[in-house]
Amino acid sequence: MQPSAATPQNAHKPVLYEETLAALAPRNGGRYIDATLGAGGHAQGILEASSPTGSLLGLDLDPQAIQLTTSRLEKYGKRVHIQRRSYTGLLEAMRDIGWEAVDGVLFDLGVSSMQLDNPRGGFSFKTEAPLDMRFDPQNDISADTLVNHLPEKDLAEIIWKYGEEKASRKIAKAICAARPVKTTTELAAIVRKAIGKESGKVDPATRTFQAIRIAVNSELQAVEETLPKAVEALVPGGRLAVITFHSLEDRLVKQYLRRESSDCICPPGQPVCTCGHKATLKELNRKGVTASEAEIKSNPRSRSARLRAAQKVALA
């Protein structure tokens, strides 16, 4: 998740910046993929750390991010390759520029602060905007599609599955009764009224907005599909770093890294291994790394961030 930035010159450091660079360990001459380019903060750090000849491939679906980061990284010249593409096409993007393997891959998952701060994107309920929430403006499905056209049962399932919202049925019923819902602020008000007063710092609409955004962009499916591709792209000894911002993402990443770091994935209690599975990764931080109190104070959005990293091992 990137902090907001109006221009490349005044862009702030992204979340877990030093920790991410330490996990990737960029080196001179290395090749790296920033699969979620955003405002380019991590990408710039990788390029600086891999100077003078390290190179980077940056991917993003957001045209605004592509425009901003192209300008921000212009000074690195031919060391930078930027493509407007989903990270699910990571292997194809790499091959398009003639790379057979890379030394590191970074995913900074979820919605960026730049997207949250863009009132036209519809990601935030703090400002009035159309119900959009698409990472890719060319996506046929938007938040409006789900909020105003899904059957109540299906909408409740999305809010429960991707938002882990206990009041999902009540919220879905209230949304369907209020259709058509036109704006983010209108949707947030419906959710708050359906739930009633809640104590704590988290707005009651947060989980519903998260769920709809994840469903619109097929986020969890994309992550699940792409993690094996990222490992395939790495050279032996190459590193994978993934930053997540909610429990569903983190659980998915943790389970994948845990499984791929094990030589056996047979059911517990099975006396003899029959799976034939061989570890392809070595976890570098089993519990993950979270933001410091200082970073949380300067960027409250980093509170939920968790970094997990692994290194590809050479198969015997």
pLDDT in tens, 192-236: 999 987 656 789 999 999 999 999 999 999 999 999 999 999 999
Mean pLDDT calculated for residue range 109-117: 76
Question: Rg of the chain's alpha carbons, rounded to an integer?
Answer: 20
Task: Name the superfamily (CATH) of residues 17-114+219-312.
Answer: Vaccinia Virus protein VP39 (3.40.50.150)
Query: Over 80: is that where the pLDDT of 3 sits?
Result: no
Q: How confident is the model at residue 111 (pLDDT cuts 50, 70, 90)?
A: confident
Q: CATH 3.40.50.150: which residues of the chain?
A: 17-114+219-312
Q: CATH 1.10.150.170: which residues of the chain?
A: 121-217
- pLDDT score recorded for residue 291: 97
Tell me: domain 121-217, CATH 1.10.150.170, correct? yes
* pLDDT tens-digit map of 237-258: 999 999 999 999 999 999 999 9
Q: Which strand (E) or helix (H) includes residue 106? A: strand 102-108
Which three-class secondary structure state does DSSP give residue 131? coil
- pLDDT score recorded for residue 221: 97
Model pTM score: 0.92
Count Cα atoms within 13 angstroms, Cβ side, for 181.
30
Report d(CA 209, CA 54) in Å as an integer: 39
Query: Over 70: is that where the pLDDT of 9 sits?
Result: no
3-state helix, strand, coil in the chain (%, to 5): 45, 15, 40
Mean pLDDT calculated for residue range 22-41: 97
- pLDDT score recorded for residue 198: 67
Using the Cα atoms of residue 161, residue 164, residue 169 and residue 175 in order, give the sign of their dihedral: negative
- pLDDT score recorded for residue 115: 73
Q: What are phi and psi of 31, to 5 degrees?
A: -115, 135
Beta strands in 158-305 (DSSP E): 234-244, 281-283, 289-290
- pLDDT score recorded for residue 112: 75
- pLDDT score recorded for residue 211: 97
Percent of the chain at pLDDT above 70?
A: 94
- pLDDT score recorded for residue 4: 38
Report d(CA 306, CA 315) in Å as an integer: 28
Q: Any idea how long the chain is? A: 316
Percent of the chain at pLDDT above 90?
A: 81
Query: Within the chain, how many helices (H) and strands (E) appear?
Result: 13, 8
Q: How confident is the model at residue 316 (pLDDT cuts 50, 70, 90)?
A: low
